Amino acid sequence: MVAPPDSAPPDDDVLWARSLHYSHSGSPGLIGVGAAVRQGEILAVTGPRGSGKTTLLRCLAGRLVPDQGEVRFDGIAVHTLGALARERLFRARFAWIGPEPQLLPELKVWENAALPLLLTGAPHRAARAAAHEWLERLDIGGFAGKRPGALNRAESQRVALARALAGEPAVLFADEPTAPLHRAERALLLRTLTTAARSHAITVVLATHDEETAAAADRDLALLDGRPADAAAVVSPGTTEDQAACSLSA
């Protein structure tokens, strides 16, 4: 479990968060959660369904603004940025892969992989080269000229991974990326993800409820009911959320 201090983030943490609270229209999603991850590290965010993993990843990525607490990336106070600045930051420095590949069926596989680069204004030739390079690296170069409809789920998910990595993001947020796959495919995708991230010093924040998947990470942050699991265990039924949050930053 990662327990960041109350003060400024340590210099070696590329992504750092403290005392995050977030509620989804009044229902608690996060209650006093902190996180810290160094450049090139893989942080697993674990916990059962509904424990707040996705909400935490979305706060860290600037997709959600926490109700309380702070998120810092590379010296930038992400929680203070406006919507446009957060969108720009996300496109320039982050990438996201979820459980569904969400490829565009009308585009070829390489065009899908190149899309985020093209959307950030990269020259067409460079985006195409990067897409092909990552498809090759992930052993799906042979599908580059095909449409996503010709691929099975595991192959499609690898294309989604190539799309996420083609821009060589500083941080890859991976939200249950292996969840819909069979065991052997899960292991292969995970190995591909971790090898690629480590060889390119890409930081990964990996949400998973699967212990085997979490074992591939350098560090583990376990959540339960929106709280760090170790704190959730000591929160008695009468404890208020504020009391629980204070106990986390002690």
Ligand X SMILES: Nc1ncnc2c1ncn2[C@@H]1O[C@H](COP(=O)(O)OP(=O)(O)OP(=O)(O)O)[C@@H](O)[C@H]1O
Residues that bind ligand X (CB under 6 A): 24-25, 27, 29, 47, 49-55, 209
Q: Which is nearer to ligand X, 117 or 204 (CB)?
A: 204
Q: CA Rg, the chain, in Å?
A: 18
User: Cβ 29 to ligand X, closest distance in Å?
Assistant: 4
User: Cβ 218 to ligand X, closest distance in Å?
Assistant: 20
Query: 31 to each of 26, 52, 53, 228, how far by Cα in Å?
Result: 12, 9, 12, 8
Q: How far apart are CA 127 and CA 217, in angstroms?
A: 29
Task: Please classify residue 68 by burial: count the beta carbons closer than 10 Å to its beta carbon, then call 0-12 exposed, 13-18 middle and 19+ buried.
Answer: middle
Q: Which is nearer to ligand X, 57 or 162 (CB)?
A: 57
Q: Which is nearer to ligand X, 23 or 39 (CB)?
A: 23
What H or E segment, with its residue span, contains residue 20? strand 13-24
Q: Which is nearer to ligand X, 51 or 213 (CB)?
A: 51
User: Cβ 175 to ligand X, closest distance in Å?
Assistant: 7
Q: Which is nearer to ligand X, 45 or 216 (CB)?
A: 45
User: Cβ 213 to ligand X, closest distance in Å?
Assistant: 12
Task: Please classify residue 236 by burial: count the beta carbons closer than 10 Å to its beta carbon, then call 0-12 exposed, 13-18 middle and 19+ buried.
Answer: exposed
φ and ψ of 30, to 5 deg: -135, 140
Q: Which is nearer to ligand X, 24 or 153 (CB)?
A: 24
Query: 27 to each of 19, 23, 55, 169, how far by Cα in Å?
Result: 17, 5, 12, 32
